[in-house]
Structure 1
Amino acid sequence: MLWYTLLVAAVAVERLAELVVAKRNAKWTLARGGVEYGREHYPVMVVLHTGLLAGCLLEPVLADRPFVPALGWPMLALVVASQALRWWCIRSLGPYWNTRVIVVPGAEPVRRGPYRHPNLLRHPNYVAVAVEGAALPLVHSAWTTAAVFTVANAALLTVRIRCEDTALRHLVPA
């Protein structure tokens, strides 16, 4: 369980690094006239993602969940892959990437990295979030955490993607 705790801690540190990047990027975009959308759902997103990490640590202990190698190792590979995709998204979007929905009026849509073919995969960062949210708990058989996060995240992403698509449609040229 120690190595799993270290894995979850590493993901938590990664999330904190994301917040540092997001804060820097928010300052940059807002200085360029960026407009924020979806403030109402942002606190829910923070609670959901914090709950994911807490559930990952608590469920294996409280429910006596074992590490099952046939499940745990493939899920660990998915966690690593989701992190790689997330940071590819962050790097590709550059200063436009954020944990909040902030759009700069008149900015051109990013068409590089995983955003090169938006008709193929419109929201690759959310794919990374969904994969990580299901896989991280399953590394140590935290079935309940994986299921609850997946359902709650699907509901949240429905709101989030609608918000983001609306913001982009209204502020960014086609």
Structure 2
Amino acid sequence: MPSTIAAWAPGGLAAAILVSEILIGRQQRLEPDEDGGADRGSHRLIWLVMVPSIVLASIVAKRQPAGAFVLPAGGWIAVGIVFAAGATLRWWAVRSLGRLFTVRVAIREGHRLVTAGPYAWLRHPAYTGVLLQFLAMGLGFQHVLSLCLVLGASVAALAWRIAVEEAALAARFGADWTAFASRRARVLPGLW
């Protein structure tokens, strides 16, 4: 059974992320010019970096034996738990933002800082959720380089996105944003 899981897990997790992101993206759409340029292409960059990294990680895992490792049966349970935790955190963050959520960086009319839900502890809990999902997918490839590819790509793309988002929030909320940000980790408490 673990070999069957190993064969299907990375693709299944990638498909789950894709479906989840499509569903999230349908919640709040903006017209092409409605973000006022605040997004600076960060939404597109995320897709242009993360999707090829998944494809490349898959190729590496299948064709490069050096760096491969085998997850024990219990390891697959841990991968599932990490993935589910990431998906749950992402959805909780999106729900906490409510109508303020958009897939592109934008400040909407009546925008306010959300400090409840996961935003009580993190500035960007939705991105923490994404990173947990990509960690699970990377582990599912059972290859060190594949894990590094998907995590490295997601961290790089999200670092740019976070910088863009924080600039927009600082411009809109000034001292309130500075105070909010000073009391919370960006993504990972104690690390980032």
Give the TM interval when normalised to the shorter protein: 0.7 to 0.9
**Equivalent in the alignment of 1:152:** 153
Q: Residue 106 of structure 2: SS of its match in structure 1?
A: strand
Aligned CA distance change for structure 1 residues 102 and 16 (closer, same or farther; 3 Å): farther
**Equivalent in the alignment of 1:21:** 24
Which residues in structure 2 correspond to 1:58-77 (within 5 Å)?
A: 58-63=59-64, 65=68, 67-69=70-72, 71-77=75-81
Q: 2:102 aligns with which of 89, 93, 98?
A: 98
Identical aligned pairs, as a percentage?
22
- Give unmatched runs, 5+ long, in structure 1: none
Q: CA deviation at 1:132?
A: 1.8
Query: Is the CA contact 1:76–1:136 (under 8 Å) kept in the aligned structure 2?
Result: no
CA deviation map 1:64-102 (0-9, x unaligned)? 546421544322321121111111112211222233212
Query: Is the CA contact 2:35–2:104 (under 8 Å) kept in the aligned structure 1?
Result: no
Q: CA RMSD in A?
A: 2.8
**Equivalent in the alignment of 1:53:** 54
Query: Is the CA contact 2:29–2:103 (under 8 Å) kept in the aligned structure 1?
Result: no
Matches of 2:93 and 2:159, distance apart in 1:
20
Which deviates more, 82-91 or 72-81?
72-81
Matches of 2:111 and 2:98, distance apart in 1:
13
Q: CA deviation at 1:34?
A: 5.0
Matched, 1:114 2:118: yes
Q: Residue 112 of structure 2: SS of its match in structure 1?
A: coil
CA deviation map 1:104-159 (0-9, x unaligned)? 144111222111x2xx3111111112222222121241321211222233332222
**Equivalent in the alignment of 1:87:** 91
Q: CA deviation at 1:25?
A: 0.4
Which deviates more, 163-172 or 8-17?
8-17
Matches of 1:43 and 1:94, distance apart in 2:
22
| Alignment TM-score, normalising by the size of structure 1 | 0.77
CA deviation map 1:23-49 (0-9, x unaligned)? 44024xx6xx65452333333210222
* Number of residue pairs matched by the alignment: 167
| Alignment TM-score, normalising by the size of structure 2 | 0.71
Q: 2:15 aligns with which of 12, 35, 49?
A: 12
Aligned CA distance change for structure 1 residues 7 and 143 (closer, same or farther; 3 Å): closer
Aligned CA distance change for structure 1 residues 18 and 26 (closer, same or farther; 3 Å): same
Letter in 2 for 1:146: L
Q: CA deviation at 1:56?
A: 5.2
- Give unmatched runs, 5+ long, in structure 2: 177-192
